[in-house]
């Protein structure tokens, strides 16, 4: 399994395996020393060395040019420039994901929540396990390391469940996400020839595109691991059915949200501090979460917006609690709350999708000029094509509402469903080599 | 028993993967499949035209049979070395020195993959540089200054430098083990068989008739007589015959071509020929969907600043009543080739 994972990683840029190997060796040794050393300052020093080596590589590859550009812009005010050159190289694939996964190991060993892994190969596999190497879920040692010690046995039920999850993940990617992406890309590429209604539709479609793209990858990764008998963490749980921003974040990219909760938010004091300090903690977590996605202002704004929304929600909840008010718990109110949260999330996605701040603001400005009388600019698409897209979204929402996991207990149902999904993937799928959106992170 | 079948399946999958890791082996298999008449296992990717192979649009399964191109007759020139910088119009159809009047040597570098020419010119011979671009590629290639500025080099031997042919053991091993074309190769080795063509036709039918969307980069001509490459018909694309190209850019293209001419002359070439092959849509449908042809080709060829000798096929192509391109392929057929070849040979003979 380790050899397969190495091969998988090296298929991108073979030499980068040396960088990953370097951090694996450091973290492996750090783990063993963290367990054996008794002195707290020594433990802390080892943890810091491990974290610095991980974050250092992440910072160098992902943020060096961003940092350089920012310093350059600031120095530009004084008519001078940074002497540091810009570096052009390919970002190692899945860097942010496996770095965070490696850090969670050393932190857990430091905290005494998990024993150090003595077997180097198994530790290396923990970092490199190929189904989740490039885009998560970001695993925890408690969940996966013991599974690597267990002798793998072929299990037909796991095989069926894994294959079904992979098939539907592929369906989400090639049938829904990439199809939505075509329309979204067209609108984002030609913002000046679009109107408010078209841009609003594109924004809504992007919300579903990124969900299907990312959760589709997670499904494929989790399913692939399942076929081999491994259970990975759940990464999505119908996020667009959330009625609050807080709930949205407990359902979207769960493995990253819980990582930030456990290793940043709680160490900062979490919510067991003053109200203002709590808000500060929330904002820090979301700004860093935005930066985690990429070295771009728009990602930071996206994170900041979510932080702001969560703080606003917190304030509203405190006010409601003070006056002993609650939202009625019925279908209509919940539907409106869900739609409202969806629109807020969609608004934030505009920053995530836009190449720069100017484009994002321009996009939002055009949406504010929305008129019900606007004619949708279909461009190269037929109205029927757009209608089909909405049918797909409706199908997805119904499926997620009633069958988050497609049942595979009955063999006949399994074969029928699996073959049907695969046929749909072939006949309705878009195959133009578009990458998974989260591969860039 | 199930263990045995499992092992067999694994072995077959591994074999397919290993074969697909080799682009050369896959290419050989493709050639064999392309030449085969087997109605189940032949390849339909190219024998009905590359546009059919891209799109599998039902109703366009028209054989794109290649005629044998005959060598030039009544040629009185000799001692000519032809060095071509070209795309598939030349290297795939007319890359034989026998076709060129008086040619002792015919060496070509392929522009699409940015091959460069390193040449030791023989001063006792007529050294001719032939620049051939298809209309859809000319802007992209000529505007690529890092390529065009280093296209020609004098050398102690003549050879073509290809960015795709990394030398050394490390490069060879990594190219095989981590072949960047493996997805395409796997597709060709597992999915490119004639018996699957109806399935591909059905997919195209569903997408075009039910969803009104083609995902294959191919468009059916308004008169239903031929297929057209979408990048040449979509005005948003640089390769399009309908994208507005400013005079400034045309002048820039001419300047870049002139710089190649100057360099070639400095290196000792006797003659430099320029040939731009029109997009089929420029010839047959210059007002497709109400658009207007940008006349890029004539604007370059007729620029007074251009120093290169032009092999103009646009004018005779427009005047010709014959079919000059395969209806389901991006390339010219033998009629189109002979018009071009006659002009090239006339230029060589002079």
Is cis: bond before A186, omega within 30 of 0?
A: no
Name residues 328-387 of chain A within 8 A of B (Cβ): 380-382, 384-385
Chain B residue numbers touching A7 (CB-CB < 8 A)? 177
In contact, A3 and A19? CB cutoff 8 Å: no
How many CB atoms neighbour CB A266 within 10 A? 14
Q: How does pLDDT run across B276-317, given as a tens digit for each residue?
A: 999 999 999 999 999 999 999 999 999 999 999 999 999 999
Whether residue A293 lies in the annotated active site = yes
Q: How does pLDDT run across B39-49, given as a tens digit for each residue?
A: 899 988 888 99
Mean pLDDT by 10 residues, chain A (441 residues): 93 89 94 92 94 92 82 80 75 89 95 94 95 90 93 88 96 93 88 85 95 95 95 94 95 95 94 92 95 89 96 94 88 94 96 92 89 77 86 92 86 94 93 70 62
Partner-chain contact B211 A10, CB within 8 Å:
no
Name residues 419-438 of chain A within 8 A of B (Cβ): 426-428, 430-433
Q: Which residue of B has its CA nearest to A179?
A: B215
**Which pTM value belongs to this model?**
0.85
CA distance A306 to A314: 12
Q: Alpha helix locations (H) across A37-119?
A: 40-58, 64-77, 95-111
Q: What is the pLDDT of residue B25?
A: 93
> Which among A11, A382, A433 is the nearest to B212, CB-wise?
A382
Q: How close is the nearest chain A Cα to the Cα of B232, in Å?
A: 15
- Start-to-end CA distance of chain A, whole Å, equals 24
Q: Band the pLDDT of B215: cuts 50, 70, 90.
A: low
More confident residue, B104 or A88: B104
Q: What is the pLDDT of residue B165?
A: 64
Q: What is the pLDDT of residue A434?
A: 67
Partner-chain contact B202 A427, CB within 8 Å:
yes
Chain A residue numbers touching B174 (CB-CB < 8 A)? 14
Q: Which residue of A has its CA nearest to B175?
A: A11
Q: How does pLDDT run across A33-46, given as a tens digit for each residue?
A: 999 998 899 999 99
Partner-chain contact A381 B234, CB within 8 Å:
no
Name the burial class of residue B43, with classes exposed (0-12), middle (13-18) and buried (19+) by CB atoms within 10 angstroms of its CB: buried
ipTM (interface pTM)? 0.79
In contact, A90 and A246? CB cutoff 8 Å: no
CA distance B231 to B238: 8
Chain B residue numbers touching A11 (CB-CB < 8 A)? 178
Q: How close is the nearest chain A Cα to the Cα of B199, in Å?
A: 9
Q: What is the pLDDT of residue A439?
A: 66
Chain A residue numbers touching B202 (CB-CB < 8 A)? 427
Q: Which residue of B has its CA nearest to A431?
A: B215
Chain B residue numbers touching A426 (CB-CB < 8 A)? 203
Partner-chain contact B213 A428, CB within 8 Å:
no
Partner-chain contact A385 B174, CB within 8 Å:
no
Give the β-pairing of B116-119 and B159-161.
antiparallel
Q: Which of B17, B181, B212, B218 is the best mutation test for A, with the most CBs of A within 10 A? A: B212
Q: How close is the nearest chain B Cα to the Cα of A380, in Å?
A: 9
Q: What is each CA distance from B74 to B78, B101, B105, B336, B337, in whole angstroms?
A: 12, 9, 19, 20, 18
How many CB atoms neighbour CB B134 within 10 A? 25
Q: How does pLDDT run across B338-350, given as a tens digit for each residue?
A: 999 999 999 998 7
Instruction: State which H helix or E strand residue B236 sits in.
Output: none
Measured CB to CB, residues of chain B less than 8 Å from chain A are 174, 177-178, 183, 202-203, 206-207, 210-213, 215, 234
Q: Band the pLDDT of B326: cuts 50, 70, 90.
A: very high
Partner-chain contact A388 B211, CB within 8 Å:
yes
Partner-chain contact A385 B212, CB within 8 Å:
yes
Q: What is the pLDDT of residue B167?
A: 65
> Which among B174, B177, B212 is the nearest to A384, CB-wise?
B212
Q: Which of A262, A344, A363, A341 is nearest to A302 (CA)?
A: A344
Partner-chain contact A381 B213, CB within 8 Å:
yes
- ∠ CA B284-B290-B292, rounded to 5°: 65
Chain A residue numbers touching B178 (CB-CB < 8 A)? 10-11, 14
> Which among B203, B206, B213 is the nearest to A382, CB-wise?
B213
Q: What is the DSSP string of B245-282?
A: --HHHHHHHHHHHHHHHHHHHHHT-SEEEEEEEPPHHH
Tokens of B70: 């005959």
CA distance B199 to B211: 17
In the DSSP assignment, the letter for residue B239 is T
Q: Which residue of B has its CA nearest to A389?
A: B211
CA distance A311 to A249: 13
Q: How close is the nearest chain B Cα to the Cα of A421, in Å?
A: 15
CA distance A374 to A39: 69
In contact, A220 and A166? CB cutoff 8 Å: yes
How many CB atoms neighbour CB B208 within 10 A? 17
Partner-chain contact B206 A428, CB within 8 Å:
yes
Partner-chain contact A384 B203, CB within 8 Å:
no
Q: How does pLDDT run across A291-331, given as a tens digit for each residue?
A: 999 888 899 999 999 999 999 999 999 999 989 888 888 99
In contact, B42 and B29? CB cutoff 8 Å: no
Q: What is each CA distance from A65 to A15, A89, A294, B140, in whole angstroms?
A: 21, 11, 11, 28
Q: What is each CA distance from A161 to A401, A409, B190, in whole angstroms?
A: 18, 8, 26
CA distance A235 to A225: 14
Partner-chain contact A385 B202, CB within 8 Å:
no
User: Which of A114, A253, A293, A306 is labelled catalytic?
Assistant: A293
Q: How does pLDDT run across B141-163, given as a tens digit for each residue?
A: 999 999 999 999 988 888 888 88
Partner-chain contact B206 A382, CB within 8 Å:
no
Altogether, the residues listed in chain B come to a count of: 350
Give the β-pairing of B218-220 and B227-229.
antiparallel
Q: Which residue of A has its CA nearest to B187?
A: A431
Instruction: State which H helix or E strand residue A153 sits in.
Output: none
Task: Encode burial over A283-308: b for 16+ CB neighbours within 10 A, e otherwise.
Answer: bbbbbebbbbbbbbbbbbbbbbbbbb
Out of B37-51, B130-144, B236-250, which region has the weakest mean confidence (pLDDT)? B37-51
Tell me the angle at which helices A16-36 and A95-111 cross, rounded to the nearest 10 degrees: 10
Partner-chain contact B213 A432, CB within 8 Å:
no
- ∠ CA B125-B128-B129, rounded to 5°: 145
Name the burial class of residue A402, with classes exposed (0-12), middle (13-18) and buried (19+) by CB atoms within 10 angstroms of its CB: exposed
Kindly report each contact of residues B245-251 with a partner whose C-beta sits within 8 Å and lies 24 or more positions away, as own/partner: B245/B139, B245/B294, B245/B296, B245/B299, B247/B299, B249/B139, B249/B143, B250/B296, B250/B299, B250/B300, B250/B303, B251/B303, B251/B305
In contact, A47 and A27? CB cutoff 8 Å: no
Q: What is the pLDDT of residue A80?
A: 79
Q: What is each CA distance from A415 to A419, A420, B201, in whole angstroms?
A: 6, 8, 25
In contact, A4 and A152? CB cutoff 8 Å: no
Chain A residue numbers touching B291 (CB-CB < 8 A)? none
> Which among B177, B178, B215 is the nearest to A430, CB-wise?
B215
């Amino acid at each position: 399994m380790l050899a397969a994972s190495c091969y998988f990683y090296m298929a991108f840029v073979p030499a980068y395996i040396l960088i990953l190997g370097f951090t694996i060796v450091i973290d492996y040794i750090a783990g063993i020393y963290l367990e054996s050393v008794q002195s707290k300052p020594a433990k802390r020093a080892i943890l810091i060395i491990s974290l610095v080596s991980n974050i250092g590589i992440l910072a160098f590859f992902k943020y060096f040019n961003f940092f350089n550009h920012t310093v350059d812009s600031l120095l530009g005010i004084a008519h001078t420039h940074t002497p540091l050159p810009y570096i052009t190289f390919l970002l190692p694939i899945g860097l942010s994901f496996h770095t965070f996964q490696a850090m969670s190991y050393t932190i857990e060993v430091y905290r005494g929540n998990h024993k150090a892994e003595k077997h180097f190969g198994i530790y290396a596999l923990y970092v490199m396990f190929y189904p989740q190497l490039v885009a998560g879920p970001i695993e925890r040692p408690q969940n996966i390391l013991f599974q690597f010690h267990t002798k793998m046995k072929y299990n037909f039920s796991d095989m069926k469940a894994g294959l079904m999850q992979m098939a539907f993940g592929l369906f989400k990617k090639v049938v829904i996400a990439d199809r939505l992406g075509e329309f979204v890309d067209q609108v984002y590429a030609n913002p000046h020839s679009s109107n408010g209604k078209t841009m609003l539709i594109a924004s809504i479609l992007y919300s579903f595109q990124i969900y299907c793209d990312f959760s589709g990858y997670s499904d494929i990764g989790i399913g692939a691991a399942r076929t081999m008998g491994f259970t990975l963490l759940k990464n999505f749980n119908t996020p667009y059915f959330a009625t609050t921003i807080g709930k949205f974040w407990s359902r979207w990219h769960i493995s990253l949200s819980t990582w930030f909760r456990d290793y940043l938010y709680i160490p900062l004091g979490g919510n067991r501090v003053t109200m203002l300090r709590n808000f500060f903690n929330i904002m820090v977590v979301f700004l860093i979460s935005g930066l985690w996605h990429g070295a771009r202002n728009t990602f930071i704004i996206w994170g900041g917006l979510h932080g702001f929304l969560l703080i606003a929600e917190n304030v509203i909840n405190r006010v409601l609690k003070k006056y002993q008010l609650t939202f009625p718990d019925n279908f209509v109110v919940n539907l409106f709350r869900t739609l409202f949260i969806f629109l807020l999330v969609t608004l934030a996605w505009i920053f995530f999708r836009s190449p720069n701040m100017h484009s994002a603001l321009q996009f939002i400005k055009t949406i504010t000029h929305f008129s019900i009388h606007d004619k949708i600019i279909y461009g190269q698409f037929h109205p029927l094509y757009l209608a089909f897209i909405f049918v797909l979204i409706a199908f997805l929402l119904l499926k997620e509402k009633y069958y988050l996991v497609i049942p595979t207990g009955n063999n006949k149902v399994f074969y029928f469903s699996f073959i049907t999904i695969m046929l749909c993937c072939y006949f309705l799928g878009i195959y133009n080599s578009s990458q998974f959106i989260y591969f860039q992170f | 028993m199930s263990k045995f079948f499992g092992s067999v399946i694994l072995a077959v999958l591994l074999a397919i993967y290993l074969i697909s890791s080799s682009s050369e082996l896959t290419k050989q298999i493709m050639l064999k499949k392309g030449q085969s008449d087997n109605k189940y296992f032949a390849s339909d990717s190219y024998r009905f035209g590359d546009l059919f192979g891209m799109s599998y649009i039902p109703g366009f399964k028209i054989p794109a049979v290649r005629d044998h191109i005959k060598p030039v007759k009544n040629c009185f020139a000799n001692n000519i070395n032809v060095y071509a910088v070209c795309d598939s119009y030349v290297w795939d159809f007319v890359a034989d020195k026998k076709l060129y009047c008086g040619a002792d040597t015919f060496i070509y570098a392929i522009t699409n993959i940015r091959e460069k020419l390193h040449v030791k010119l023989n001063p006792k011979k007529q050294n001719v540089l032939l620049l051939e671009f298809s209309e859809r590629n000319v802007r992209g290639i000529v505007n690529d200054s890092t390529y065009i500025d280093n296209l020609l080099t004098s050398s102690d031997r003549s050879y073509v430098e290809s960015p795709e042919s990394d030398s050394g053991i490390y490069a060879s091993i990594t190219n095989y083990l981590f072949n960047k074309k493996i997805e395409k190769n796997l597709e060709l080795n597992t999915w490119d068989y004639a018996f699957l063509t109806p399935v591909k036709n059905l997919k195209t039918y569903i997408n075009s008739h039910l969803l009104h969307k083609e995902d294959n980069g191919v468009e059916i001509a308004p008169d239903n007589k031929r297929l057209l490459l979408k990048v040449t018909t979509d005005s948003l694309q640089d390769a399009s015959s309908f994208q507005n190209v400013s005079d400034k850019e045309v002048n820039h293209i001419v300047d870049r071509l002139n710089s190649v001419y100057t360099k070639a002359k400095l290196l000792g070439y006797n003659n430099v020929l320029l040939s731009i092959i029109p997009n089929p849509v420029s010839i047959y449908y210059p007002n497709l969907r109400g658009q207007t042809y940008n006349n890029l080709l004539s604007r370059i060829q007729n620029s007074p600043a251009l120093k290169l000798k032009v092999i103009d096929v646009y004018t005779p192509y427009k005047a010709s009543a014959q079919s000059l391109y395969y209806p389901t392929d991006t390339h010219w057929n033998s009629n189109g080739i002979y018009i071009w070849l006659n002009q090239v040979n006339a230029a060589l003979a002079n």
